[in-house]
Amino acid sequence: MKQKYTIAGALVLLIAVLAIMSWDLFFKIENQTGNQYEYNLDKLKQVDTNMLCYKENIDVEVPGKKIRGLAVDKDDNIYVTTENNVIIYNNKGEQTATFTTSQTANCISIGPDATIYVGFKDHIETYNPAGELIAKWDTINSSAYITSIAVDETSVFLADAGNKVVQQFNHKGQLINQIGKKDKEKGIPGLFIPSPYFDVLIGRDGELWAINSGRHAFEAYDKQGNLKSTWKRTSMELDGFSGCCNPSHVAMLSDGSFVTSEKGIERVKIVYANGDLKCVVAKPDQFVEGTTGLDLAVDSKDRILVLDPEKGMVRIFEII
Tell me: the pLDDT tens digits for 98-117? Answer: 999 999 999 999 999 999 99
Q: What angle do CA 235, 238, 242 make, to 5 degrees?
A: 35
Sequence length of the chain is 320
Where are the domains positioned within the chain?
Answer: 49-319
Please state, in angstroms and rounded to a whole number, the distance separating the CA atoms of residues 64 and 47.
32
Sign (positive or negative) of CA dihedral 257, 225, 172, 123: negative
- Average pLDDT in the chain: 90
Dihedral (Cα; 238, 243, 249, 250), 10-degree rounding? 40
Query: Apex CA 248: angle with CA 289 and CA 140, to 5°?
Result: 130
Where does the pLDDT of residue 30 fall: very low under 50, low under 70, confident under 90, or very high at 90 and above?
very low
Do 177 and 168 contact (CB within 8 A), yes or no?
A: yes
Residue 52, strand partner residues: 280
Find the largest Cα–Cα distance for the chain. 101
DSSP string, 115-164: PEEEE-SS-EEEE-TTS-EEEEPPP--TT--EEEEEE-SS-EEEEETTTT
Nearest to 105 by CA among 75, 129, 142, 136: 136
SS3 assignment, position 27: helix
CB contact at 8 A, 79 and 86:
yes
Residue 290, helix vs strand vs coil: coil
Residue-wise pLDDT tens digits, 196-234: 999 999 999 999 999 999 999 999 999 999 999 999 999
| Identity of the amino acid at 276 | D
pTM to 2 decimals? Answer: 0.87
Contact between residue 210 and residue 219 where contact means Cβ atoms under 8 Å apart: yes
Helix (H, G, I), strand (E, B) or coil at 285: helix
* CATH architecture type of domain 49-319: 6 Propeller (2.120)
Per-residue model confidence as pLDDT tens digits over 1-24: 544 444 545 454 455 544 444 444
Query: For residues 121 and 105, what is the distance between their CA atoms, to the nearest angstrom?
Result: 7
For 127-169, write each residue's pLDDT tens digit: 999 999 999 999 999 999 999 999 999 999 999 999 999 999 9
- The two counts, helices (H) then strands (E), for the chain are 1, 24
